[in-house]
Amino acid sequence: MTAMPEPLLSLRTWLEKVESIGELRHVKGAHWDVELGAIAELSYQRPKPMALLFDDIVGYPSGSRVLTGSTGSARRLGHTLRLGDDLDDVGLVAALRGKPSQWKAAAADFPAETVTESPLLENVVEGPDVDLLSLPVPRWHDRDGGRFIGTGCFVVTSDPENGAINGGCYRMEVQDEGRSATVNAVPGKHGAQHIQRWFDQHGRAPVVVSFGHDPLLLVTGGTEVPAGISELDYAGAILGQRVPVLRGEHTGLPIPAGSEIAIEGWLRPDDVRDEGPFGEWTGYYSGSRRPAPALEIVRLYHRDDPIQLGAPPGKPPHDYSYMRTAMKSAMVEDALNAAGVAGVRGAWAHEAGGGRLFIVVSIEHRFAGHARQVGHLAAQLPAAAYMNRFVVVVDDDIDPRDLGEVVWAMCTRCDPAQDIDIVAGTWGSKLDPMLLEGAPPYNSRAVVDACRPFERRSSFPAVSTGDPAYLQSVLDRWSEVFEH
């Protein structure tokens, strides 16, 4: 009997490639309870973090695996985004320039395609027999409130009015000894809006979740793809091929055929369980244990020897902070250009701010008021509005990725009394370590104009570095001084 070919977006195909470029390491014998997460955390802090494939996890059969660090290097992220297998950090940024708007425009040409066969159907477990803890679900951090199966997951919902599909990455904690899992989508996220609409109109919401797939679905599900566009179709635009999907037997929702593990079921507004805390991307545990809707799982599908795609957050750098920074930076720059803003030269959503809290945009400063326009827009773009805290606008002689240069510009081209605008009542989160327990999840943000004042551009003190051409000629003449 010939084996079924690997479907598009199979994690196994992705792993083969990553292994062939030397970016995968195998780890055997780690414990699911904190040890696996600690190994992953130590790895993120290395200068070149590898993807780690955990097997022989204590208490579980060989073959039942967990992957971490999938998108943590330019080569792996470049491959995942089908931009090239040899990119370095600078090459990845260049390759990403302009791509989000191209993918957005092309998504309609790559609607997900329904298929009827997939290795995912190797094991189908019906409702009462479902046990998520038959899988080695990690407790990632030592103060986590439970075991989180949903970190690199892809949660599929639909709009009850027009059937539009959304795929989002929302954390999921195992509940009821493995019979259920809570879905923690922040209000305002597209999936959360879908679920609320289903609750209002039908009293329950159908949901499908994939827990192991080509990390492209982690990237599209975990990044602010514009509203109304299915992340499956957006992934199709990135691939240049339609994504094959099975249809959930009970919900009719699409399940990526390349998935390793998937569930389908129903959320109900009054069926909640306490979940959290969880070590989050801000670098802190996310407050107290709070109620979240729990999924009534009607089916579990999994391949033989299934692989969970883990993506645990934490104090940056964490599992997906590199990916978040690269994608968010490209999306912010792209959205500013698409809005018709002049002179945008680059944007960078710094990893230290989890790719959300601290965004720098460099501009060719063209008119009085330009810097403020860019700053306020950047702070409120759909790609950036959730949990931004600082936007800094700098002149185009400043590299927005270089924190030393950005701080120098803030220190020398910005008068705090005049050049920092504070906007309150903006889109915050219960994950915000600054939010008081029980307070509504607003935050505030500062838009920092760190450009030379427009009217003083020609009279502003000259930067005291040598002329680049002259410095180069000196370097050529005195090269022995600089030899080590």
Ligand X SMILES: Cc1cc2nc3c(=O)[nH]c(=O)nc-3n(C[C@H](O)[C@H](O)[C@H](O)COP(=O)(O)O)c2cc1C
Provide the binding-site residues for ligand X, judged by CB under 6 A: 151-152, 166, 168-171, 184-186, 189-191, 218, 221-224, 311, 320
Residue type at position 411: C
Residue 19 or 159 having the CB closest to ligand X: 159
Joined together, the tokens standing for residue 321 give 């902070």
- DSSP class of residue 144 equals -
Measuring CA to CA, how many Å separate 375 from each of 17, 336, 455?
Answer: 40, 10, 18
> Closest separation between CB of residue 202 and ligand X, Å?
20
Q: Which is nearer to ligand X, 162 or 464 (CB)?
A: 162
Whichever of 192 and 377 has its CB closer to ligand X, that residue is 192
**What's the distance, CA 4 to chain centroid?**
31
Question: In the complex with ligand X, which residue's Cβ is closer, 78 or 310?
Answer: 310
Q: How far is the CB of 372 from ligand X (least distance, A)?
A: 27
- Closer CB to ligand X, 319 or 333, in the complex: 319
Q: Distance (Å, rounded) from C-alpha 350 to C-alpha 357?
A: 8
Closest distance to ligand X from the beta carbon of 223 (Å): 5
Provide the CB-side half-sphere exposure for 402 (13 A, CA).
Answer: 11
Q: Which of 432, 353, 426, 420 is nearest to 392 (CA)?
A: 420
Three-state helix/strand/coil letters over 280-348 = CCCCCECCCCEEEEEEEEEEEEECCCCEEECCCCCCCCCCCHHHHHHHHHHHHHHHHHHCCCCCEEEEE
Task: Name the minimum Å distance from CB 18 to ligand X.
Answer: 18
Q: Which is nearer to ligand X, 72 or 152 (CB)?
A: 152
- Give the CB-nearest residue to ligand X: 222
> Among residues 219 and 393, whose Cβ is nearest to ligand X?
219
Q: 217: Cβ–Cβ under 8 A, 6 or more apart, which residues?
A: 9, 154, 167, 210, 231, 232, 235, 256
- For every residue of 372-428, which 3-state class applies, written as one string? HHHHHHHHHCCCCCCCCCEEEEEECCCCCCCHHHHHHHHHHCCCHHHHEEEEEEEEC
Shortest separation between residue 386's beta carbon and ligand X, angstroms: 6
Q: Which residue has the tokens 């309150």?
A: 424
In the complex, least distance from residue 246 CB atom to ligand X, rounded to whole angstroms: 21
Rounded Cα distance, 395 and 406, in Å: 10
CB of 399 to ligand X, least distance (A): 26
* Closest to ligand X by CB, 189 or 299: 189
Closest distance of CB 47 from ligand X, Å: 22
Quote the least distance from Cβ 147 to ligand X, whole Å: 15
Q: What is the 3-state secondary structure (H, E, C) of 412-450?
A: HCCCHHHHEEEEEEEECCCCCCCCCCCCCCEEEEEEEEE
Q: Measured from the CB atom, is 233 or 449 closer to ligand X?
A: 233
Q: Are 15 and 67 in contact (CB under 8 A)?
A: yes
Helix (H, G, I), strand (E, B) or coil at 61: coil
